[in-house]
Structure 1
Amino acid sequence: MDNGHVAKACESCRKSKTRCDGEAPCERCRRRNSDCSYRVKARNRQRIHRRVTNPASASPKTHSEARRHSPAGSPTPNHEASDVLDSQAPSHMQMRDDNVYQSVIATHGDESSSAEHSRLFYGPSSQFAFLQQIHRKVLSSDLQKQSSQSDVQDGGPGLDLFRQRSIFFGTPSRISPRSNHTSDSISSTVPLSQAKDFLNRYKTIYCGVFPLFTDTELDDLFRHLYDEESENVLTSHTKAIALAILANGGLAAGFTNLAEKLFVMANQEAIFSLDVVSLPAIQLLILLSEYQNNMGRPNSVYLHLGVACRKALAMGLHRESNATSTNPNNVSKRQATLWCLYFNENFQSLALGRESAIKMADISTPLPSSHTVLASLCKLAHIAEDGARVIYGLRHASLGKLYVAAEEIHVRIREFAAESGIGSPGFANRHKIPDGIASLIIHNVYYHTILLTFRPFLIAESALPSTQNNVSPQQVWLRQASRYAVNAAQDSIAYASYMFQKDDVCRSSRYNAFFLDASCVVLLFDILQHPSKHACNVEYIQMALLALSSMDQDEPVTTCSRSIEQTLRIVERTISGQRTDSAARDFFALTNHPLHWHPQQSHQAIQFPSLDPNLQNSADQLIQFRDLPGSVGEELPQVSEMPSGAESNGCFANPYSPYDIVATDLYNFFPVNNISPYDPVHFAHGEDINP
């Protein structure tokens, strides 16, 4: 590298404080196979004493946090567009200092017993935090009066109402962890013929996506596991890996109880090497986390991956070293293990709204070019990592600024899709990725990344005062941002449904239920905001329920199905009541106004009136949304059917009474009142993806 002075360093080198050669791309970014971008607008730094004395400057805490969470290769913000938004925003529309990013927390068990009491936190990007918005919207008649200044809100009532508590805290184990299975023979637990089916199922689903082991290595491991007379005696750690592989395969094959026993046996074998820092130790934790992921235990997934990241950092797996082995197979295996860990850790952290333990800025090891599916997932996870920082990790002065940041992330997502052959942007290169389960996994992550990028704008649009619901043409970008999220949810459901019909293997991964559930919740929230879209969105929700019904009817699939059905019933009941109240108000206003009173025209003021002209016009004859075709159920469950604890606390005696409920408040998370007119030059059109 030239020792001369470089006028400008790329964003990746600047943020990692690494010397840059000023090329495009620079040597470091080219070696890491990452994006290399340069700041377009020069920064005018203030002197230290000016920054301290300037009362309008941002707090040092905000800047330090932003720098600490800024990964290498992150997008350069469009400062010029942001400056335009700021200049057009009135001074009273600046974001207040007490606005916070709000999350959800819940407790489980008896608080008097520390051993049985559990308390979990999920951040604003999590599914549980967004689900609380529906909880808040259906249980409140005056949303604007329910603001709270607390960073974290109690989400317990919402979890009970929408039947999500078991996933929030993790589905209970079917095998007691206290039972000792170390002396059990593997052949007596799983017959050889059945074990072969489990192994083949694992190969079909995981080997092409997460290449931790080759087919030959798996066959050898399987042979030694069942060959009791073999001279190659397996160590406890190697045996734990073999059991974890069979557990994942058994779960995918639908043998949940047997898979649970294999999972417990794998954990009991691994207990003898908890402090071991090695490649197999990291691979085992990835396998265990994948099992827990498909069993609906997100918190356990986060803990397993966190330990795996600590071991990877302790091993130096994230740093490229000249002292590495010259064996190319060992190098490839280390790379594959590291990037499998990176993808799972970052995507799971984003989905749970928690901080990830390893970021792209920490890694200098190149992407595994020989594993195209894994490389594509890691590139997408990198974009999602930047999106989490920009959308959920930084404070923006206005909602328009947030939209500019989201659009920059969206541009990168579309460029990735076009290059990788994903969705409508990648139609020309649609044959670049393998078909089947690999394609479904990439598309699920792709659509969910778009959904998380633009889902905040659904809340922002809903939180607008009623006088601002009719957004001006200059603010059409807010509706466009909401459409991005809704379109991504619909496309995700449509593609998953298509793949379920095309390939039976796609239905065996239970984690698909998470993506279907997340998409349905977005569509249900959209129905609450726009009841006229009920018929269209319910069509996709029914498609998702049909897809879930084609999967193994076991946890967590059944929980997701029940939750979607319950939420749909509540939403339909809510919008039906809104229609009735609105029509009644319009009717009485019309009949009491002297300029508009006419006995033959009073029916025109009622929305969805009865089609029978002989009936008297009243709110009782309105067509109710719950009677529309496609409704999952007619009535809400009685209070006695609610989970334990809900009835005793009196939370659901009248679930539609306008009292102040303790729920997640994400409305303060977004600068809703800071809408700035947006320049049409930066307007981007949505995408419709028809599989």
Structure 2
Amino acid sequence: LNSQTREAPQSNSRIDEDPVTNKKQQELRAGIGAFDDNTEAYQFYGPSSHFSFVQRLYQRIRRQGNAPLNVSRQVPEGLRKWGIERQIFTYGNECSSSKNSVPDGSFLPKELGEAFISAYFTLMHPQGPILSERDVRQTWEALWTGPSYTPNQSKKLAQQKAILYMVLAIGARLTDHEPSSSDAWAQHFYDRAGVPTDSFEETSLLGTHLLLLRAMYGMQIGRPNMMYLYLGHASRSAMALGLHRAQVVAGNNSFLNTLRLTFWTTFYMERMVSMFTGRPSCFVDESIDTPHPTDCQHAEDGSQNIEYAYIRAMAALGKISERIMACHYSPTKPTRVSDLTEVNRVNNECSGALNELLETLPPYLHFFDDKTPIGETWQEVQRICLGATYHIACILMMRPALVYVTFFESKQQAQDSIGDRIDIQRDIKRTVSSAKDLISLVHDGFFNRCLAMRRDGNMVYFIVSACLVLLFDVLDTETTSAHATEVFQEVEKGLKCLDQIDHIGSTTGRAISLDVMKIAKDALKSTEPTTHLGTNLMESFTWLNNEMFDQAPYDSASSWLYNSLEMPSFDYSTVGMTDLFGPNGGADLMVPMAFDMMGQGLQVADGNYIPSQTAPQNQ
């Protein structure tokens, strides 16, 4: 026994001092940069980011497990090959494209504008309840009184109009079904809102809200860099207002509660985007003592969303995410194997905090129980968003084990390199389980509980991240055919969810699902020298057989693919709404004033809006 006791430290010491293993630990914390030759724009994404993981997956498929993650000032090869780079740089798609411009003389029916506002308050407001619907609709009605009743000299009114334009822009992105026309209006109102220069020099609540709304718009068009920048500005604006301090926002009246809502919404969104992009957060937890928002007895503006358990839960996730980032992804943390004992301790503490969070949730937020009764739309929106974020936090906490294995020939070799400090197989199983749970949650929401969530482009990030984790896992040489089949069944569920999302910037969920299919096919091809997984799976999943991946642009999805997935078209009537974009559902969204036979509308004229009256009908 004494002999064994003496030998154990020697073994651990040998592992600790292995410079190759320590180097691999350091590589886990490497990020990637992307450089655009056309504009000389450059963006960096840390190791927790979606983009870094895509490149890791590409390297694993190419059997480049020991290659550095980022080697030159260009778009990394994996992101370029699979079309992911379009989510990094805009290339002017949203702004300069003629299909996304609204010319003077175009006509916005009042009914459609109100549909945009309703879409915002149905889907986005529950995720960030910072605005008063009554105030927004009052500003909207003011546009119909004509220019003489809406003087632009008023700075506050100008801010209110900018808020309205952002609500219209986001609402247009959240409105189904034909994306081209609504996206044109979205871009138009986004440009019209602008951001006054003094928003970066002086602080106000409305100015902070405007910055938050710009970030929310970025969520809907799949621009993580845009989200990070605007949320950074909003965060500093909120702190400049003192919203992070109890002495400023403590109290029982509704205005102070709005201030607390604004701060904690900004806090959780900024923390989540920092985690998703692998970049530092603006907030320091020790500097924050503002209380959480309290539930209201009734909503002054008639809104149903008067409970803020969602905001409190997301704020808690924001704090947990910071610990995960500091422990697993910080470049300044020690990376020797001996430090993994501390990593394991932090993981256990974060897992405990996540479990404690579940116990604080009201029943309508029980995303972990698929038998939970279906609630109001705002409750279901919050349930899906909270659950998806929770699962992403779990994935990012355990995912380093999945990546670490790629530096070795086998899981056992990876485990031997670190001893018993971390159970690699356990962490991988937890990562894969969280990815499956995330896809099941979103799929249940899209097809059963809350069909309106199909219009939320922000869901793309969560679905794709989960699919990539599953594909990463199936590449392991020890993967059995049964496990691979189970994994691809979950991936297929994710693809069906992506197919339902129309609005993601200049592309669509269908196009992004093709990106994932291409990755899946490449992943299977890479297993062919050692296994027969590809042959077996292509018999079960017919969409893997077609050569379209290698011949056509990803955006040109053809019907064979979606027929093979048995993807149903969206029946808009099932959610009790009219399809304004269908062939018979509504008038053209951008018709000249001379053809206005619908009643009231707003005509675009030199960047302003002229209310129109009902055109005379022919008898």
Deviates more, 1:529-538 or 1:566-575: 529-538
1:411 aligned partner? 352
1:525 aligned partner? 472
User: For structure 2, which runs of at least 5 residues remain unmatched after alignment?
Assistant: 1-7, 177-181, 296-307, 555-619
**1:392 equivalenced with 2:329 (yes/no):** yes
2:76 to 133, 156, 163: 156
CA distance in 2, matches of 1:217, 1:95: 63
2:48 aligned partner? 125
**1:359 equivalenced with 2:284 (yes/no):** yes
CA distance in 2, matches of 1:384, 1:482: 19
Residue 246 of structure 2: SS of its match in structure 1? coil
1:235-250 map, 5 Å: 235-250=157-172
1:16 aligned partner? none
**1:576 equivalenced with 2:576 (yes/no):** no
The alpha carbon displacement at 1:541 in A equals 0.6
Residue 253 of structure 1: SS of its match in structure 2? coil
1:256 aligned partner? 183
The alpha carbon displacement at 1:184 in A equals 6.5
Deviates more, 1:423-432 or 1:288-297: 423-432
Question: Cα 1:567–1:325, aligned 2, differ >3 Å: closer, same or farther?
Answer: closer
Per-residue CA distance 1:95-126 (angstroms, 9 max, x = gap): 7475352111121124xxxxx22111100000
CA distance in 2, matches of 1:316, 1:553: 36
Question: Cα 1:209–1:88, aligned 2, differ >3 Å: closer, same or farther?
Answer: farther
CA distance in 1, matches of 2:73, 2:527: 25
**1:169 equivalenced with 2:83 (yes/no):** no
Residue 577 of structure 1: SS of its match in structure 2? coil
**1:506 equivalenced with 2:450 (yes/no):** no
Per-residue CA distance 1:117-172 (angstroms, 9 max, x = gap): 211110000011111111111112x63xx344979996521111221010122474
**1:212 equivalenced with 2:130 (yes/no):** yes
Question: Cα 1:87–1:223, aligned 2, differ >3 Å: closer, same or farther?
Answer: farther
Alpha carbons 1:576, 1:625 under 8 Å: kept? no
Deviates more, 1:431-440 or 1:467-476: 467-476
Alpha carbons 1:569, 1:631 under 8 Å: kept? no
CA distance in 1, matches of 2:221, 2:213: 13
1:244 counterpart letter in structure 2: M
The alpha carbon displacement at 1:489 in A equals 0.4
Alpha carbons 1:573, 1:625 under 8 Å: kept? no
1:301 counterpart letter in structure 2: M
Alpha carbons 1:132, 1:155 under 8 Å: kept? no
Residue 224 of structure 1: SS of its match in structure 2? helix
CA distance in 2, matches of 1:277, 1:307: 11
2:396 to 452, 466, 478: 452
1:268-307 map, 5 Å: 270=196, 273-307=199-233
CA distance in 1, matches of 2:218, 2:83: 19
**1:203 equivalenced with 2:131 (yes/no):** no
Deviates more, 1:146-155 or 1:392-401: 146-155
Residue 579 of structure 1: SS of its match in structure 2? coil
CA distance in 1, matches of 2:201, 2:247: 23
2:436 aligned partner? 490
Question: Cα 1:560–1:642, aligned 2, differ >3 Å: closer, same or farther?
Answer: closer
Alpha carbons 2:405, 2:411 under 8 Å: kept? no
Per-residue CA distance 1:579-603 (angstroms, 9 max, x = gap): 27xxxxxxxxxxxxxxxxxxxxxxx
Per-residue CA distance 1:192-229 (angstroms, 9 max, x = gap): 11111111111111333311112322222222233326
2:568 aligned partner? none
Question: Cα 1:430–1:108, aligned 2, differ >3 Å: closer, same or farther?
Answer: same
Question: Cα 1:177–1:217, aligned 2, differ >3 Å: closer, same or farther?
Answer: farther
CA distance in 2, matches of 1:397, 1:456: 14
TM-score by length of 1: 0.66
**1:373 equivalenced with 2:300 (yes/no):** no
2:215 counterpart letter in structure 1: S
Question: Cα 1:233–1:334, aligned 2, differ >3 Å: closer, same or farther?
Answer: farther
1:319 to 224, 227, 245: 245
Question: Cα 1:333–1:183, aligned 2, differ >3 Å: closer, same or farther?
Answer: farther
2:3 aligned partner? none
Alpha carbons 2:56, 2:69 under 8 Å: kept? no
**1:539 equivalenced with 2:485 (yes/no):** no
CA distance in 2, matches of 1:454, 1:335: 32
May I ask how many residue pairs the two structures share in their alignment? 506
CA distance in 1, matches of 2:528, 2:366: 35
2:608 aligned partner? none
TM-score by length of 2: 0.74
Alpha carbons 1:170, 1:300 under 8 Å: kept? no
Alpha carbons 2:35, 2:73 under 8 Å: kept? no
The alpha carbon displacement at 1:497 in A equals 0.4
Per-residue CA distance 1:51-70 (angstroms, 9 max, x = gap): xxxxxxxxxxxxxxxxxxxx
**1:481 equivalenced with 2:427 (yes/no):** yes
Residue 174 of structure 1: SS of its match in structure 2? helix
2:258 aligned partner? 333
Which structure dedicates a bigger proportion of its chain to helix? 2
Deviates more, 1:158-167 or 1:367-376: 367-376
CA distance in 1, matches of 2:97, 2:205: 26
Question: Cα 1:275–1:345, aligned 2, differ >3 Å: closer, same or farther?
Answer: same
1:106 to 18, 21, 34: 34
Deviates more, 1:502-511 or 1:431-440: 431-440
Deviates more, 1:378-387 or 1:230-239: 230-239
Residue 544 of structure 2: SS of its match in structure 1? coil
Alpha carbons 2:367, 2:383 under 8 Å: kept? no
The alpha carbon displacement at 1:178 in A equals 13
Per-residue CA distance 1:438-482 (angstroms, 9 max, x = gap): 111111111111011111111123333348359689688221110
The alpha carbon displacement at 1:406 in A equals 1.7
Alpha carbons 1:236, 1:270 under 8 Å: kept? no
Alpha carbons 2:374, 2:380 under 8 Å: kept? no
Alpha carbons 1:237, 1:273 under 8 Å: kept? no
Residue 169 of structure 1: SS of its match in structure 2? coil
Residue 95 of structure 2: SS of its match in structure 1? coil
Alpha carbons 2:455, 2:501 under 8 Å: kept? yes
CA distance in 2, matches of 1:630, 1:171: 35
2:62 aligned partner? 139
Alpha carbons 2:220, 2:458 under 8 Å: kept? yes
Residue 628 of structure 1: SS of its match in structure 2? helix
1:342 to 236, 251, 267: 267
Structure of larger gyration radius: 1
Alpha carbons 1:247, 1:260 under 8 Å: kept? yes
The alpha carbon displacement at 1:540 in A equals 0.5
Alpha carbons 2:49, 2:277 under 8 Å: kept? yes
Alpha carbons 2:381, 2:453 under 8 Å: kept? yes
CA distance in 1, matches of 2:323, 2:374: 27
Q: Percent identity?
A: 19
**1:461 equivalenced with 2:405 (yes/no):** yes
The alpha carbon displacement at 1:271 in A equals 5.1
Residue 354 of structure 1: SS of its match in structure 2? coil
